[in-house]
Structure 1
Amino acid sequence: MNASRLSIFIFLFALATTLTGCAVIGDIFKAGAYTGIIAVFIVVALLFFIVSKMRGPRP
């Protein structure tokens, strides 16, 4: 397993163990729909950024 795959695995494992799904979803619904939409957009953009940095420059 190369270093980038290992770092992805460690990141996903840490994310899965530190965020409890029910608590996060409950807090988003308490905050409102627009807050939830913005939060989802930020998470998707962050994941896209991390994956693109791990892949390196494209030819």
Structure 2
Amino acid sequence: MKKFTLLGLSVFALTLLTSCEAIETIFKAGMWWGIILVVAIIGLVIWLFSRGRN
């Protein structure tokens, strides 16, 4: 059994979805990753500043 690669999975998803649905899915995933990364970076900065004051 072949392992799915990211490219293979992307091609499979794009063939099942219409172009608008595919773009919408890609942007939703990108938006959520962006939100998670921004929250993590802000939390890290706050944590570093709070450690520096002690």
TM interval, shorter chain, is 0.5 to 0.7
Which of 15, 18, 21 lines up with 1:35 in the alignment? 21
Whichever residue aligns with residue 26 of structure 1, its letter is: F
Q: CA RMSD in A?
A: 2.1
Where does structure 2 lack aligned partners over 5 or more consecutive residues? Answer: 46-54
TM-score, normalised relative to structure 2:
0.56
TM-score, normalised relative to structure 1:
0.53
Aligned mates of 2:12, 2:28 — CA distance in 1: 18
Q: How many residues align?
A: 40
Moved over 6 A (4+): none
Larger Rg: 2
Instruction: Report % sequence identity.
Output: 10
Where does structure 1 lack aligned partners over 5 or more consecutive residues? Answer: 1-18
